[in-house]
Amino acid sequence: MKNSLSEDDTKFINYLAFDDLQTEYITKKKELYHHLDQKYKQEEQSLRNKKLEGIELDKDHRMVLNACIFPFSQEGPLAKFGYYFIRASPLSELEISNLDFLLFHPDPDTYAIFGEAKGQVNDAQRVVDQTKKRMKLVYDKQYYIKQNYFKNLNSELEFVLGVWMSYQTEIVKTVQRKGGEIKVWGTGPQINTMKPELSFVRPWVQSEPIGKTMFHKDRSLNQELANIETSWDYKSIFPDSHIFAKLSLLAWIREKEDGSFELSDLLEIVKQELDYLEDERIQKETEHILTIGEETGFIEKVPNKSNNYKIISRAKKADSREEEIKKKWINFSIAKDNEAERKEELLKLQEKFKEKRSKRKTLSEYS
């Protein structure tokens, strides 16, 4: 990182007016930047590990989310029972904390299933409490939901919490202890084939009023959703996925003979993944991927062609390019964090010098 003075910093130094304050400020700023640079060097591996952990957590989450929605997709085994996968991240367009997916059953009694997927459960009570808070948001916005998603104001709402099978027992007990209302689904590998499966998890005490609220209104769903085959990679990305997952779509682009690709090439891939979203949002997601792709240095614009890009990589295979994107994103993200901390600490330093400056007056200020 360069220690050269920005225009704003030059203005601040001029504001200090006094030579000794200016010299002290420049010295303190250099010391601050040196300290931060040393800190980042010492913590570099730890920072990289945290970034990798974030990527893995998102992957875990996407796998559970895929497991929950695939059976209800057009090619899924439960589509024949009249269920539809409406969208992932419902209400995200309102920029509020939202659940992960929305399913809909139109006949004979219409109702919608909102689901939350959890790849890791370190605290079952916190997960259940968070889900219940998001359920309340759904109830608050149910008129908007019914008007914008399935045009049926008489639909009843149900809520699901999808987790890995290793967490399902703890989650069921916690939901029952916290008043029920949430249905629990578990996913994991089939014992014989190791293929992904999904099951509705029955509550421990089924006869109690609370236990009854943990069953779906549709009895056939309670019965059919048992060790049913599913997919952990049905969709590569979702609206709220980690930016690395979205950037990875760049690895699958087929370039032209001159090594370039167009915005429309990526747009088509994003549209396949997010086909339930509005065109405007798909366009926005695509443009965001391209912007971050440029900032990380994985792609660059082709001169004199505004919608043409070139991948900066010697690798030709998609998986190798994906690893390259991961490294570039981690470097970019750490540098961005470093820059943000620099700005924050510099503002604190400037506040201290503002206080020193306020206690002095120049000759013109005296007059």
- 183-187, 314-318, 327-331: segment of lowest average pLDDT: 314-318
104-112 average pLDDT score: 79
pLDDT value for 2: 44
pLDDT value for 1: 42
Cβ distance 62 to 53 under 8 Å? no
Shortest CA distance to 47 belongs to which of 330, 241, 326, 339? 330
105-124 average pLDDT score: 89
pLDDT at 184 over 60: yes
Task: Decide: residue 31, CB within 10 A, 0-12 exposed, 13-18 middle, 19+ buried.
Answer: exposed
Q: Which residues have CB under 8 Å from 163's CB, separation 6+?
A: 64, 117, 118, 121, 171, 184, 185, 186, 187
pLDDT at 139 over 50: yes
- 156 confidence band (pLDDT: 50, 70, 90): confident
344-353 average pLDDT score: 94
pLDDT at 182 over 90: yes
pLDDT at 153 over 70: no
In the numeric block, which tokens belong to residue 344?
């924050």
226-234 average pLDDT score: 95
| 160/155 Cα distance (integer angstroms) | 16
pLDDT at 290 over 80: yes
The residue with greater pLDDT, 367 or 29, is: 29
